[in-house]
Chain A
């Protein structure tokens, strides 16, 4: 697995540097650290352990074209019980997932277009794990977003080109709701509505060996998320000198697909129509490195 990680990492870095070179000489660095409770991905509850998810990226580019390359990890910081969900399986903790990604973005006026590739890599965590190396896969993705100052609709499309095959779409829109009209410390609540749609990433009855994230095609789930990020006055990372942001997301999700309804690892698993989840985090915006 390490070899695969290495190859993907080198490939993305080389691609990033190659693509970034002509765009601009300025390179930035940033990242964040989040703690989702529980860890939900594409509407599917993945882990009920305390999960820590650090990420870091390098960015280069100008005001219209930019390239980012980064790494994202999911670490189960606590062990789960037998009746709880986790990527590593009950009684285990540690690194569960690593993603490497390369992202190109073009901003044209109020519209933002993005293309990218993401590699998902899991540990060889044993038979009890819900994710293991056989889930390693790669997706291409594209997105288009209207970057309006007050309303930002967005469509994302992912196409798995490896183990899962098929496409997954998300349509979302977010709006900021002003919190502090005086401006400093500025804060707002961002409301985001999102719907997921599977077009091939569900169970494929014709190909029994193919992996699947969902039970059936079509609408998978819908989420309403309220987010806020608060600048921490006076707390800036040195030497980057960017203001650290505290993040908080609260989500209420309506589950439609069977996979999104599963709320724990009991047998038979409990299924619910609605679930709540939250994400706490700290973020460091992109800062100029050199």
Chain B
């Protein structure tokens, strides 16, 4: 070859390598009870205790500001700070026969196969639980980090900063695994009860036209109350709650924890939100936790006390068949998306005109954010009240002889597509890029060269005019830009039995009617089952699953059903088969294997702030200065740069009230507290707290001492609040 030809080949190979660089690597395949990699040849064996044991754990997983908020794609923001801390909560169960299961619900947008497998590998030796007994799901808040996926497309497109962040992933894995180990180490005799109640009026079906296509016509799972809007009826209102009480020294039960499953998108916050936040779920979690703590204190004869920074009880609030179910937010809680417009000529009339994204004006963002916060607080309180009512309904109904079991499998969606009846090439529809109605992107209704409709919308041009091939109605033009390993290729499914309750666990956002189809399949396989609930967004993430008829409408959910129109039926069938296996194994769990899988995360990104030296500089003089703006206490101070200390290590600050001799008013985990790192310098950052004071008073901020050496710093006091 000539030099020029060699050069051309080299450059082409280099470019091609860049395009197909998936960074392929294997994920661990930890099977419960196996000893591979453990220091001891024998993993801890679960003993037959003769009664149900339960342990609980909690990990603060609030990352430092700087990470991107995932779930809203290009409209998501880079986190400038935080509001409600993010947690992963754990319930660890061991039944009288020694069967073990761990439930984790994390305030995250999704759980990737990567996260689930890495956490399972980390806890295998200390807990004897592997991927086949770990039910790890996400609340689906869109105000939490991503960049932890095994599929390159999600690292690239689910948030505004593209890339797989190994440090952020390790942060989550280490903390969540630690909480599970803590829970396993604190097993105590427990009583378990469960129930299902319909909760109407706070959710609605956001793809109602697609829902109406289902045949036979969907029948509501519960009778809706009169006067309910049709879109509010077209949801699964079932709230499944498992209540756990532990036994006091005298053998009497003490309320300790709950696991809820309810279908609602974690999108109370609009995409303009720039704070890490647990969204609606965070309020519901805390509401029941405080009630449980209070109830427990009262049973123990302890006086009522102010809530601590963290509640002792844990309430895991998992998501159900929320694929097409949005919170019923008011329209004014959504902000306009940016629009691309010609910009003023920077070089004056001589220069060529550029285009720029015109963001909604700050005043408009302020208005819609305020409306969203009000709505989130209101629906969070209402659902919290519902949770407390359901919990109380289970008073005295717990049993210590509940048996648990699971059946587990890994579907190789791509490798076994033909055998399963799926499309062998997963594809994203154009409606996905346009966004759902509560997550419209800037690309909605975009036309190629301003003229040609390419289907960037729900329905309309997103529906292929000439349905053909496996993906049928899906406009797959965007698939042209995808590589062979860009989308998820495995789905881990589980069916869990807890007494006479069955839980289907799957790694998808399942629509209401697709969920109904799956519940029917489970019921066919185990007709004696009393109740079935589905936990979505668990143990991986394969986007949405809509029914065949919904798929034909190519709404957002249909466009995001990657493996074609038969996906719901295939998953329903697989859950039915798992149920049959579980049923035929009697009281115990059937054997399972955890298949080796690969991750293809693509290129790395460093978004999780890393200290730039082993011992980052501590800002000794933090000097908080307080002022009052309207009814908002505003305090700014100098502190270490984001990442130099972990927000997740404990309370960072406390607001104190003069009326109670500088007593506690709020922590930095409060719906009315917003903490931001406004500007970052080389060795320090300018931080700001904004707290909408609930009543008038004189307040001050105390920056709490930290493990990194930062000492207590107190601001001046300021009168502030509503008068």
- Please list the residues of chain A having a beta carbon within 8 angstroms of any beta carbon in chain B: 30-32, 34, 41, 53, 55, 57, 59, 63, 66, 68, 70, 72, 99, 101, 103, 105, 112, 116, 118, 141, 145, 147-152, 154, 156, 158, 174-178, 181-186, 188, 190-192, 225, 227, 229, 245, 247, 249, 279, 283-286
Contacts and interface: CB of A to CB of B under 8 A. Distances in A.
B14 interface: no
Contacts of A247: 354
B447 A68 contact: no
Nearest to A285: B356
Contacts of A112: 342
A225 B357 CA distance: 20
B339 A183 contact: no
B355 A176 contact: yes
Contacts of B355: 152, 174, 176, 188, 190, 229
A180 to B, nearest CB: 9
Interface string B344-355: 111111111111
Contact of A181 (B342, B343, B354, B443): B443
A188 B448 CA distance: 11
B472 interface: no
Contact of A174 (B157, B342, B478): B342
A53 to B, nearest CB: 7
A32 B478 contact: no
A185 B1 CA distance: 37
Contacts of B160: 183-184
Nearest to B447: A150
Contacts of B74: 182-184, 186
A99 B347 CA distance: 10
Given A174-B353, A191-B449, A72 B348 contact: yes
29 contacts: A32-B347, A53-B347, A55-B347, A57-B346, A68-B348, A72-B347, A72-B350, A103-B345, A118-B349, A147-B342, A148-B341, A148-B450, A149-B341, A154-B353, A158-B349, A175-B450, A175-B451, A176-B340, A177-B449, A181-B443, A181-B481, A183-B74, A183-B443, A184-B161, A188-B340, A190-B354, A190-B355, A249-B352, A286-B346
A200 B119 CA distance: 76
Given A30-B346, A190-B354, 10 more contacts: A34-B347, A55-B350, A101-B348, A118-B348, A149-B339, A156-B349, A181-B433, A184-B161, A184-B162, A286-B344
Interface in B310-345: 339-345
Given A176-B450, A177-B449, A182 B351 contact: no
B567 interface: no
Nearest to B456: A181
Interface of B: 73-75, 156-157, 160-162, 339-357, 361, 433, 441-443, 446-451, 478, 481
A69 B618 CA distance: 44
Contacts of B346: 30-32, 55, 57, 283-286
A152 B449 contact: no
A175 B351 contact: no
B449 A175 contact: yes
A178 B342 CA distance: 15
A72 B361 CA distance: 29
A195 B429 CA distance: 39
Output the residue of A31, A150, A152, A286 with the most chain B CB within 10 A.
A150
Contacts of B481: 181
Nearest to B350: A72
Contacts of B349: 101, 103, 116, 118, 141, 156, 158
Nearest to A247: B354
Nearest to A101: B348
Contact of B343 (A31, A103, A116, A285): A285
Given A150-B447, A152-B342, A178-B443, A186 B350 contact: no
A151 B452 CA distance: 12
A183 B341 contact: no
Contacts of B446: 150, 178
A30 B346 CA distance: 7
Nearest to A239: B679
B354 A227 contact: yes
**Which 8 pairs show the lowest CB-CB distances between chains A and B?**
A183-B74, A175-B450, A151-B450, A55-B347, A182-B157, A101-B348, A150-B450, A149-B339
A85 to B, nearest CB: 18
Interface of chain A: mostly helix, strand, loop or mixed: strand
A192 B450 CA distance: 12
A28 B618 CA distance: 34
A38 B222 CA distance: 73
Given A151-B450, A177-B449, A190-B355, A183 B157 contact: yes
Contact of A55 (B343, B351, B443): B351
A245 B162 CA distance: 18
A44 B491 CA distance: 62
B347 A186 contact: no
B348 A177 contact: no
A211 to B, nearest CB: 18
Q: Name which of A158, A177, A181 has the most chain B CB atoms within 10 A of its CB.
A: A181
B348 A103 contact: yes
Contacts of B347: 31-32, 34, 53, 55, 57, 70, 72
A202 to B, nearest CB: 20
Nearest to B681: A238
B73 A183 contact: yes
A162 B357 CA distance: 38
Given A147-B342, A149-B339, A72 B351 contact: yes
A32 to B, nearest CB: 5
Given A150-B446, A183-B74, A57 B352 contact: no
Contacts of A283: 346, 354
A38 B704 CA distance: 62
A70 to B, nearest CB: 5
A55 B160 CA distance: 31
B121 to A, nearest CB: 31
Contacts of A118: 348-350
B343 to A, nearest CB: 7
B442 A183 contact: yes
B356 A32 contact: no
Contacts of A229: 354-355
A24 to B, nearest CB: 12
Nearest to B605: A233
A122 to B, nearest CB: 14
A177 B345 CA distance: 20
A225 B442 CA distance: 24
Contacts of B348: 55, 57, 68, 70, 72, 99, 101, 103, 116, 118
B271 to A, nearest CB: 11
Contacts of B343: 285
A182 B341 CA distance: 18
A99 B74 CA distance: 39
A105 B344 contact: yes
Contacts of B356: 285
B478 A181 contact: yes
Nearest to B606: A234
A207 B160 CA distance: 60
A249 B354 CA distance: 10
**Which of A105, A152, A158 counts the most B-chain CB atoms under 10 A from its CB?**
A152
Contact of A182 (B156, B357, B361): B156
B350 A99 contact: yes
Nearest to A107: B341
Nearest to A118: B349
Contacts of A249: 352
Nearest to A177: B449
A182 B352 contact: no
Nearest to A225: B352
